[in-house]
Chains A and B, each alone.
Chain A
Amino acid sequence: MQELQELKQTLKTQIIESLNLEGMTPEEIDDNAPLFGEGLGLDSIDSLELMVLLERNYGIKIEDAREGRKAMESVNAMAQYIADHRTK
């Protein structure tokens, strides 16, 4: 459980860095808030950038953009997906 908490924290920092969300702190990202559309307001290019993040940092290769979008619905969903699929 604690591992997942730590993972979420790291992940938020990585998201901020990868998407260049200048001025944003990890605390400002809600675990459950949707990353795309309403919540953080990210778009399809961001989703591709997040897939790069997953591949480079966790060795997770998502081939299908649609599956990717699902895995990245929120920080919670993403952390869980990483925990389940990570190869590094």
Chain B
Amino acid sequence: MKPIYIISSACISPQHTFEAIDFLSDASIVNARNNVLYCIEPDFKQFINPVQIRRMSRALKIGFSAAMKCINESEIKEIDAIIIGTGKGCLEDTEAFLHSIKQYHESALNPTHFIHSTYNQLNGMIALNKKINSYNVTYAHRGFSFEHTLVDASLLLAEGEANHVLAGSFDEMTLEHFTVKKVWGYWKVEPIESKDLLLSKTPGTIAGEGSAFFILGNQKTKQNQAFIKSIRTMYKPTAEEIAFQIDSILQENDLLSSDIDVLMLGNNGNSNQQHHDLLFADKFLNANFLYFKHLCGEFDTASQFGFWLSTQILEKQQIPKALYGPNNQHKEEKKEIKQVLFYNNYFELNQSLILLSV
């Protein structure tokens, strides 16, 4: 695979990632309350005009603002594709429409909630607002939603069908959806502190939400620019299959496991799922193990946050302490952070590996 460069990015998350001056400093870390992490909302009016904003629900505002900031900062004039991933789309609208069907007995219903419940709403809005007449697709596949935007972007770039692709994802957590998933056992019963999440020995995890967007291209545009080298998505893989794919990525890029400087892991503290800690610990002796889900919570497109962090670490050559593992174990500060291997595990169903470099 040809390198895919990250030309610009923007990330709205439960942490100060959108307008942050410091990069996840200890003092800035936001902790989960009642097992959920909600996004720190920017001033949406900076990004959305008053006529549009009045109909947009929270998820759209968050996704739209992240996409706008990413586009504006890229200084790219022509975007050739918009590819967005979302596991659940605009949940608030879906829920509102379900309620109104019941409340008003299937008559005189507000169309806006229905329109916004369609998964490709954000795609359309960004295209409309930025007049991007081009390839435009939405992936709605739980823990692969974000990863498959990258896969599609890599195809488009390889085909020569695009030079610059806007790829990103969004998901929101509503109170109602939190309750629904609580019934299904997704969240921990006992309230847990973010910092204790990864050490937890109980079932379930904490909920989260967010949006991250990236302008991707196949030409390097600046110094110290992060780029993607390989992507794998694995559906219900066994430990052997994960190990096989890791080896295949290393081989594809002519790397040894000792070349990996950072492992960015999507552990979520759920005792009901395999985290394959040993597999990684045995294989990557030189790497710093970093974690991100205690800072963003678990959601369908949580990998966007870990991926965004990986790009920032590579470009800033700096690792925020908040990402170090539960026991604050980390290897000596290295001279250079060159290779980051990202691994996400969405409730064992959807798992992914992405190799990034700088």
Contacts and interface: CB of A to CB of B under 8 A. Distances in A.
Contact, chains A and B (beta carbon distance below 8 A): yes
B112 interface: yes
Interface in B245-267: none
B104 A56 contact: yes
A21 B112 CA distance: 14
Contacts, number: 27
Interface string B94-112: 0000000000100111111
A23 B115 contact: no
A52 interface: yes
B55 A45 contact: yes
A23 B50 contact: yes
Contacts of B51: 41
Interface size class of B (residues with CB under 8 A): 10 to 19
A4 interface: no
B77 interface: no
A19 B107 CA distance: 19
B54 interface: yes
Most chain B beta-carbon neighbours within 10 Å: one of A23, A41, A45: A45
Given A55-B107, A56-B104, A49 B112 contact: yes
B54 A21 contact: yes
Interface residues of A, number: 13
A66 to B, nearest CB: 16
Contacts of A41: 51
Nearest to B54: A20
A56 B107 CA distance: 9
A48 interface: yes
A64 interface: no
A22 interface: yes
Contacts of B104: 56
Interface string B323-349: 000000000000000000000000000
A48 B111 contact: yes
Interface in B39-66: 50-51, 53-55
Interface of A: 19-23, 41, 45, 48-49, 52, 55-56, 61
- A-B pairs with the 9 shortest C-beta distances? A55-B108, A20-B54, A48-B111, A52-B108, A56-B108, A52-B110, A22-B54, A41-B51, A49-B110
